Structure 1
């Protein structure tokens, strides 16, 4: 990435490098005009909310391309945006998370050989609290309709039933950042497209010019949906250790032969191969396997790997193992730098304090029999916290917005007599007729969440085969009663006091790590069977599977 190499590139070569591997470019002609006169100025912004994950390698590999093409790159640490996005980052934590992001992003860039001295880091609040900026924000509010503001943030700002006004301001700030950072273009994921179009429409209303916009494809999470900082199982954190990486990859959705809905394969395509080709290198992705299964194979082109996976020449288990090894190799230098710096451990604790251990004397002495006092104490994390019941699916239908999911009406034995709506991603594995009028296990004290516009009010427990090619619902004993609690010998049953587990504390995720189906087909937690008064819970055919 030397200045000499930049000087030898033609305008077309710079443009090709800037735009390679992008999903969409708006304003390409303007970029060409600028490159004919001078280097492009561009910014990429990130809001410091949840911990950065391996999905950040996608924009970072493009930033490496930009620098190689002589682009002047600014990284915006959007602290005000983080708070405005439905308060994902409380104000008292924003400054710590902003510093955490800056240091971790620098470590990430250094790990892939990107010279950070060529980058400019800017904290949003350093100019977004100025009088001029705020007057422009008011001018924008006097021009933009509520409909356009809500539409612009639909793919980015967290959507809730009763949205806060702050979410409507978010797209306007992102548009104004283009002017105040003095750039020619903004770079982001394709999920930002509506905000980019919003900026192109409304900045001229304030007398400011339109900018170009460069968009990366979105990398699916390990569970098949968008990779998210708030979904612990959808992503791998930049500081995860080897065992955590292997565990998460093992649980990842990776159906044999499926190349269209495969988060593992998408990550290999969007991150590992581009990183391997930086600075003119030849990428190498190695699948290790015994000779009886074909022996080791090295791929230097992603298309060849994709073709072999489609034709089932590469097994999902082998792909996951190879991806886990490659990810551990690129995260190793980041973990090493973080561990070697004396202040980074404190920064991590300041940015992401363990809120799950803050309890009150009155509540916890009553509910969890913990040490009395106002100081921080460990909160009990075991299966007694989860309300799992025998339930019955009364009716199941294909989700109107997603053919891979079912929407089911489920009787979980609520005292009110009301049924619950449950969304489950099982349509690719379980025939619709097998979902009708059957008993299942439902987790009933998780916070409701919307999936493709439909609120899911419980979770059905299913078991996945070790290679993730088969999934089936768990079966309670035939004579079990609807609403009957699942018990585990040696653990107290979940309290029926209306408590809903806070998703931020990841209590269910931590407990579910110890769920599995054993070699006898029995569902267990820590090797203790799931039981009802009528017997143990089983899987019909699967053995040694993961419950999810």
Structure 2
């Protein structure tokens, strides 16, 4: 049996690392009688990233303090937030969020049986909730509604009505979830004070509001789902974690605007068990390994420049990978791989401005995806060609014409995983339009040709990328500028049969190297 926590111990756990608490007296009064009921909501839009460990570590604190915690997947709020995603996509993203957050909580040792997960539309479309929305509109001014959402809803000169409704819905959630307190970032403070003002006007009680500080991103600002370099994705590979942390803003001695230190403070130190500390591994000539048992000691050492930014980055990299490893493992299933692709599909058409500079040449411009051949048949007008139907996780399979009929049997093509170059300009081959090219290797005299090999763990639609290169592929490779021809000249297999562009390996999202039975030959 765990020892019963005192009121002060519970309150300390609930409030530690918070920037502000509104309703401290009420918090104390409730804890004298029973455990607190708290909810945290997240709009299911951008892909969750490591900054989500900040609220997750606080949720762990709440649970340690005996609180009842509800996590709200705010799908309706997400839809109203300037319609960042269409409704069918939001439904998929809600499923992704649930899987991701469960994996995160499991990663930090939070027992899921103590939590409740609720989807906003489970109750926000009810008659009672809808009537309360109308009641709110009869007492809330346009000025107050707009002011309340100023920090979290995109502000424009002529706002959509949906953005004005958003704060009221979030306020009503407190009543309909039957909680004592709402937890969120300090950027939601205006929504919280809006709720405190207007809920009593509907006859509902004022709630407690618990606010986390805003943690700087790796580039020094807010960690954002829309800024690739400012965040580490929950499914990023170890090499991507290393690459992003190398770019992280970590000025020597700067503790005021340091996302790495903030992450260590708000996440890692809150998760350490008694007797654990933050360990930095260093070479003996650099002082040897050192362990900080208190965050304040770590911060002081960095401020006095006794700790090098590179050593801090290396330690944070190790701890982040420990947190992400069980999440990567949880998502390494066909079901969750498919969900990831459907919820966050590859970028669509990009609106390029006339004065935008040309994309930098590099293999990141190639949209190479895992494809599964659903059907293969001989071209009606060419004995050397196959007509394939290839699944790349789009609404419909792609029709692809491939010159493999003399080298690979129809039986071998059926159900085969291939690497499909998806952003060539569609072209007609003997009257059939082809929307992609199966990447193959061939020997010098072209007597042997075969598709490059794809690991069985790969899932249709997954993008293959080259080690050390990131960026969005071209929507379509410009044939007049011969982009593919230039890049293809450096695309080959090495002496071990591994596919490389210059010296960079072609990898799956799990960092598996793509290979071929044929070595030292071009890929085309």
TM superposition score normalised by structure 1: 0.64
1:79-94 to structure 2, matched below 5 A, reads 79-94=75-90
Give the Å deviation of 1:113: 0.8
Give the Å deviation of 1:12: 2.1
Query: Hey, what does 2:279 align to over in structure 1?
Result: 286
CA deviations 1:164-204 (Å, max 9, x no partner) are: 22111111110000000001110111111110000000101
Query: Hey, what does 2:215 align to over in structure 1?
Result: 219
Query: Hey, what does 2:304 align to over in structure 1?
Result: 311
Distance in 2 separating the partners of 1:174 and 1:354: 31
SS class of match (1:82): helix
SS class of match (1:353): coil
Distance in 2 separating the partners of 1:332 and 1:83: 31
Give the Å deviation of 1:354: 1.3
CA contact (8 A) 1:287 1:322 kept: yes
Q: Evaluate the alpha carbon distance shift between residue 156 and residue 119 of structure 1 in structure 2; reply closer, same or farther with a 3 A threshold.
A: same
Give the Å deviation of 1:376: 7.2
Distance in 2 separating the partners of 1:191 and 1:129: 27
Query: Hey, what does 1:64 align to over in structure 2?
Result: 60
Distance in 2 separating the partners of 1:352 and 1:375: 26
CA contact (8 A) 1:96 1:350 kept: yes
SS class of match (1:260): coil
1:519-538 to structure 2, matched below 5 A, reads none
Distance in 1 separating the partners of 2:277 and 2:211: 26
Distance in 2 separating the partners of 1:80 and 1:282: 44
Distance in 2 separating the partners of 1:223 and 1:113: 29
Give the Å deviation of 1:160: 4.0
CA deviations 1:306-349 (Å, max 9, x no partner) are: 1111111111111111111110111111111111x331011111
With 319-328 and 118-127 compared, the bigger mean Cα shift is at 319-328
TM superposition score normalised by structure 2: 0.67
Is the counterpart of residue 78 in structure 1 residue 74 in structure 2? yes
Give the Å deviation of 1:357: 6.8
SS class of match (1:169): helix
1:45-56 to structure 2, matched below 5 A, reads 45-56=41-52
Q: Evaluate the alpha carbon distance shift between residue 372 and residue 137 of structure 1 in structure 2; reply closer, same or farther with a 3 A threshold.
A: farther
Q: Aligned pairs, how many?
A: 370
Distance in 2 separating the partners of 1:345 and 1:251: 28
CA contact (8 A) 1:274 1:283 kept: no
Q: Evaluate the alpha carbon distance shift between residue 38 and residue 369 of structure 1 in structure 2; reply closer, same or farther with a 3 A threshold.
A: closer
Give the Å deviation of 1:37: 1.5
Is the counterpart of residue 344 in structure 1 residue 362 in structure 2? no
Is the counterpart of residue 25 in structure 1 residue 35 in structure 2? no
Distance in 1 separating the partners of 2:311 and 2:156: 39
Distance in 2 separating the partners of 1:60 and 1:37: 26
Query: Hey, what does 1:469 align to over in structure 2?
Result: none
Q: Evaluate the alpha carbon distance shift between residue 151 and residue 293 of structure 1 in structure 2; reply closer, same or farther with a 3 A threshold.
A: same
Which entry has the higher C-alpha Rg, 1 or 2? 2
Query: Hey, what does 1:446 align to over in structure 2?
Result: none
Is the counterpart of residue 334 in structure 1 residue 327 in structure 2? yes
Distance in 1 separating the partners of 2:196 and 2:263: 31
Is the counterpart of residue 262 in structure 1 residue 258 in structure 2? yes
Distance in 1 separating the partners of 2:28 and 2:162: 36
Query: Hey, what does 1:353 align to over in structure 2?
Result: 345
Distance in 2 separating the partners of 1:36 and 1:243: 49
Distance in 2 separating the partners of 1:493 and 1:220: 42
SS class of match (1:253): coil
* Structure 1 unaligned regions, length at least 5: 360-367, 379-489, 495-525, 528-548
Distance in 1 separating the partners of 2:158 and 2:271: 41
* Structure 2 unaligned regions, length at least 5: 352-422, 438-478, 484-501, 504-524
CA-based RMSD of the aligned residues comes to 2.5
CA contact (8 A) 2:43 2:73 kept: yes
CA contact (8 A) 1:275 1:283 kept: no
CA deviations 1:108-149 (Å, max 9, x no partner) are: 101111000110100000100111111111111121111111
Moved over 4 A (4+): 372-378, 490-494
CA deviations 1:73-111 (Å, max 9, x no partner) are: 110000001111111222120111001101110111011
CA contact (8 A) 1:189 1:216 kept: yes
SS class of match (2:210): strand
Query: Hey, what does 1:371 align to over in structure 2?
Result: 426
